[in-house]
Amino acid sequence: MERRVGNTRIVLVRGDITRQGVDAVVNAANPSLMGGGGVDGAIHRAGGPAILDECKKIVKEIGRLAPGNAVATTGGRLPARHVIHTVGPVWRGGGRGEPEVLRSAYVESLKRAEELGCRSVAFPSISTGAYGYPLEEAAQVALEAVIGHLEEGSPLEEVRFVLFSDTVLAAYETVLKKLKP
């Protein structure tokens, strides 16, 4: 499924983010930037130790990464040249700023991609695994955040959501269909 916003296409696919031939892939990291489970573990395994080396340097400089922020490293052995590490919110019922933090994670990641001169960037479904954010609500925030940012004008040609199961893909498709063109 595709939607065009300005000069950028938003594409929803089922797949594995470690195999995407895009300029940058976004990692749903945790504040330590030291790797973890889920998509984070998959990215470090597939990309190799160069990614963790750069993460360690970043943590030395700036400390832990606050939820809603994003930093870039090499993509190591991934097909993608860059990994943009962001931290989504842990779901604690929805009244503790979770939507704002999730929105910020997407927007800050898009800004890093633009700063790096990327033409294409791929996102996983941030916060909907171990962090427990309800899927449909997360899809709504994710798509609105990306569309809102692209409506301000962006050099990106493609923003790809790489969704790991049919269930996650279906949730994003349902939300994108409901959002006004």
User: Which residues of the chain form contacts with ligand ADP (CB under 6 A)?
Assistant: 16-18, 28, 38-40, 42, 88, 124-131, 162, 164, 168
Counting beta carbons within 10 angstroms of the beta carbon of residue 117, is it exposed (0 to 12), middle (13 to 18) or buried (19 or more)? exposed
Phi-psi region of 164 (alpha: psi -120 to 50; beta: other; left: phi over 0): alpha
Report d(CA 88, CA 13) in Å as an integer.
21
Closest contact distance (angstroms) between CB of 6 and ligand ADP is 26
Measured from the CB atom, the residue of 33 and 162 that comes closer to ligand ADP is 162
Of these residues, 16, 23, 40, 166, which one is catalytic? 40
Measured from the CB atom, the residue of 34 and 42 that comes closer to ligand ADP is 42
Give the start-end residues of each E strand in the chain. Answer: 2-5, 8-14, 24-28, 70-74, 82-86, 120-123, 158-163
Closest contact distance (angstroms) between CB of 105 and ligand ADP is 9
Closest contact distance (angstroms) between CB of 145 and ligand ADP is 15
Measured from the CB atom, the residue of 4 and 42 that comes closer to ligand ADP is 42
Measured from the CB atom, the residue of 94 and 117 that comes closer to ligand ADP is 94
How large is the C-alpha radius of gyration of the chain? 15
Output the CA torsion 105→9→118→140 (10° steps): 0
To the query of whether residue 23 is one of the catalytic residues in this protein, the response is: no
Closest contact distance (angstroms) between CB of 149 and ligand ADP is 19
3-state secondary structure at position 28: strand
Which of the residues are catalytic? 40
